[in-house]
A and B are shown apart, each in its own frame.
Chain A
Amino acid sequence: MASVTLKGIYKIYPGAVTAVSDFNLDIEDKEFIVLVGPSGCGKSTTLRMVAGLEEISEGELYIGDRLVNDVAPKDRDIAMVFQNYALYPHMTVYDNMAFGLKLRKTPKTEIERRVKEAAKILDIEHLLGRKPKALSGGQRQRVALGRAIVREPKVFLMDEPLSNLDAKLRVQMRTEITKLHQRLQTTFIYVTHDQTEAMTMGSRIVVMKDGFIQQVDTPQNLYDFPVNLFVAGFIGTPQMNFFNVKLVKEGDGVFAQFGANKIKVPSGKLAKFTSDSYIGKEVTMGIRPENIHDEEMFLSNASEATIDVNVEIVELMGSETYLYLKTDGKDGNIVARVDPRSTARTGDKIKVAFDANRLHFFDLDKENTLLDR
């Protein structure tokens, strides 16, 4: 068990291609941290630097109190689990799990103890005599985890370990890995491009883009207080709706105006603006799909946050319904996540209301949030 500290880490490839820039992060002992971001954002490169598989171009990496920049991967006391959970096909599950320890010349009795203990944790004791061919995808992934557990590392590094599994199994293994973390009480660093995985598993999430950290926070804070447009759009499915609006002052109130639509910005929200210099200017407004309502009760209570829309597509998801809406002053569709009992049908002209307390505002050019928490 150990903390991991990354101080001003850079990865620069030949030809001055910078994959990771000024990465600073303190990962606490026993924490489950998730690095998330689109392909090419530098998350796997960062993990590979922690593992020692990529050289660190600049900066310092500590595991515990030990500077490990120049320490070989095998001596870093880490264990990695990859997307490709390759097992030796001619070896039994036991031998696959014991293989790394055998290479390290660990005594047989110790190997046996560790393999059996890991198998018990992963509930694969009954599979120890089987060969990989006789295992399901989920069972193989468990063996790959077991192979990492037996090393009793200080830090577990996982690079998209679930992406080879089908959707159902992925959900199941997600829970298994979370339980495993609770049970092992060890530091986990987990890389994924799947924001659902990130949100459900991580105690903290690092959102990355183009090699830079965008935000490090708890899942709920990332969702509620995104620091910029990228994080706001990346976290949440369907993604947040964005509008180019002008903030105009009318009487005592401030309205977000786009096309023929006007949404009153509540005074509580206005108070959170970092500066009032944005009044009279164009900004980006965001609202999540679940904060757009078509229920009569909501519409009657939010008359100053109501807009006219055309229903273009209705997607019934069972537990909820997605409405794809078109309105004046907005290119593309607005997505609303509404109650499945909604009566809206394709082609209808309806009114929807925004929950104005849940609005987000971002600088039009810099894309950073304009709101304090």
Chain B
Amino acid sequence: MYLDHRVIAKIARILSKINMNVMLLDNSGHVILPEDNNREFTLPESLRNNPTQSLVYGGFTLIGTEGTQPLFLCLPGDSPDVSSCAVLCAELINMLTKVDLPHADKEQSYRSILREEVEGAELESIALEHNIPLERNRCVILLHLSNVDTEAALTILENVVLENGSDIVVEIDRHTVVLIRAMEEQEDYDEMEQLGLAIESTFVNETSYPVYIGIGEPKKTLTQLADSFREARRAIDVGRVYRAESHVFAYRKLILERFLADVPLEMSQRYNAMMFNRKTVRLFNEEMLHTIEKFFENSLNLSETARQIYIHRNTLVYRLDKVQRIIGLDLRAFDDAVTFKMMMLLGKNANNDRNKWR
């Protein structure tokens, strides 16, 4: 039985009211609660066969919840009072999971759709069952959380979603939460990016956890939603390499970066070394690279770049002349600037361990 973070949090709240060290185990014997307990127990066979019947075992009272994949409670002690308490707790959890089941089911359906675990007729049947429109303009906004605090993420996102119930928040795993945004007619992709930026800003102000946000392309059908999910993931993968200073990455705006990320590593290194090698190591020091990056950021505008980095315009001209003299590219000319920019970005590609953040 899949239980999302919110249900576990509710159970934790219930168990915290009991003045004893209660453990919640999944059906393989892993401790789910308390969260900091990573132990694993072997459950007695008789309990597995009849989980809802409480059992005293090794000084503990054990009982399971209802369902095909029950959860198990383990309470210290073997008195009738402890047994009554165990029965009561199990019943509360049964009620709680039943109440959350319709929502959990819908969420589970979206999870399966995003992971491409269902397709064709099965997908249509799920959509029908949960009243999910097959055709609707939707966009996936994916949040990657470095620290485990999906509850904070869910609380924030639940306050962001549209009140008409057309948006849905899906917890994918303990590092990933997705907002599936049903786009209204007047909404465009830029607004999805704005939404991503606003969510990031809320995270900065309201939590202590960094978040990376990827925004997939809007898709018109439910079948295509998995593509938007994949694009959102890819946007974070690529964005973190090429735009290390940002936290929000829109797939559509990373065309050059996506192309360069597909260049094989060996080729990236070869082309990067044409520009950045032992002969140019002194030329391309930190100051020079910063100057060039700022010059590109300011669309090759000399005056604005000089103003922003506090150097005289003539100093900037001198630096660019020096680059031209040594590597033969005049960065004031568009074509040469593009060549240099690509070689520079290939360096990020070459130096990147692409999956290190996962």
Contact = CB atoms under 8 A, between A and B. Distances in A.
A269 B204 CA distance: 51
Interface in A6-62: 38-40, 52-53
What band does the interface of chain A fall in when counting residues whose beta carbon is under 8 Å from B? 20 to 34
Given A73-B208, A100-B205, A103-B159, A332 B194 contact: no
B317 interface: no
Nearest to A324: B314
Interface stretch (A80-88, A257-265, A274-282): A80-88
Contacts of B314: 332-333
A325 interface: no
A88 B160 contact: yes
Interface string B167-185: 0000000000000000010
The residue in A86, A104, A193, A234 that gathers the most chain B C-beta atoms within 10 A of its C-beta is A86
Nearest to A148: B205
A102 interface: yes
Interface in B269-298: 290, 294
B156 interface: yes
B45 interface: no
Contact of B191 (A73, A89, A234): A89
Given A38-B309, A39-B290, A103-B156, A86 B198 contact: yes
A289 interface: no
A132 B194 contact: yes
B351 interface: no
Contacts of A52: 208
Contact of B206 (A40, A82, A84, A103): A103
Contacts of A332: 314
Contacts of B310: 38, 193, 234
Contact of A39 (B159, B162, B309): B309
Nearest to A133: B191
Interface string B308-326: 1110101000000000000
A18 to B, nearest CB: 14
Interface in B101-155: 155
B200 interface: yes
Given A88-B160, A89-B194, A103-B159, A53 B309 contact: no
B191 A84 contact: no
B81 interface: no
A242 to B, nearest CB: 12
A84 B155 contact: no
Given A89-B191, A102-B159, A234-B310, A72 B198 contact: no
B339 interface: no
Contacts, number: 69
Contact of A87 (B156, B159, B198, B309): B198
Nearest to A332: B314
A183 interface: no
Contacts of B155: 103
A88 B195 contact: yes
Interface string B328-358: 0000000000000000000000000000000
Contacts of B308: 39, 193
A84 B159 contact: no
B6 to A, nearest CB: 16
Nearest to B207: A74
A126 interface: no
Contact of B208 (A74, A79, A193): A74
A168 interface: no
B56 interface: no
Contacts of B290: 39-40
A89 B195 contact: yes
A90 interface: yes
Interface string B199-217: 0111011111000000000
Given A38-B310, A39-B290, A40-B290, A99 B208 contact: no
Contact of A86 (B160, B184, B194, B309): B194
B187 interface: yes
A289 to B, nearest CB: 13
Contacts of B205: 73-74, 79-80, 100
A22 B308 CA distance: 27
A53 B206 CA distance: 11
Given A82-B201, A234-B310, A90 B191 contact: yes
A84 B197 contact: yes
A103 B308 CA distance: 38
Contact of A100 (B160, B200, B202): B202
Nearest to B184: A90
A91 B195 CA distance: 10
Contacts of A88: 160, 194-195, 198
B245 to A, nearest CB: 11
A159 to B, nearest CB: 10
A74 B204 CA distance: 9
Interface in A119-163: 132-133
29 contacts: A38-B309, A38-B310, A39-B290, A39-B309, A40-B290, A53-B208, A73-B205, A73-B207, A74-B205, A79-B205, A80-B204, A82-B204, A84-B197, A86-B198, A88-B160, A88-B194, A88-B198, A89-B187, A89-B191, A89-B198, A90-B184, A90-B191, A96-B198, A99-B159, A102-B159, A103-B159, A103-B202, A332-B314, A333-B314
Given A40-B290, A74-B208, 10 more contacts: A73-B205, A73-B208, A74-B205, A86-B198, A87-B194, A88-B194, A89-B191, A89-B194, A100-B202, A332-B314
Interface of B: 155-156, 159-160, 162, 184, 187, 191, 194-195, 197-198, 200-202, 204-208, 290, 294, 308-310, 312, 314
List 6 tightest A-B contacts by C-beta distance, closest first.
A86-B197, A89-B191, A86-B198, A72-B208, A88-B198, A89-B194
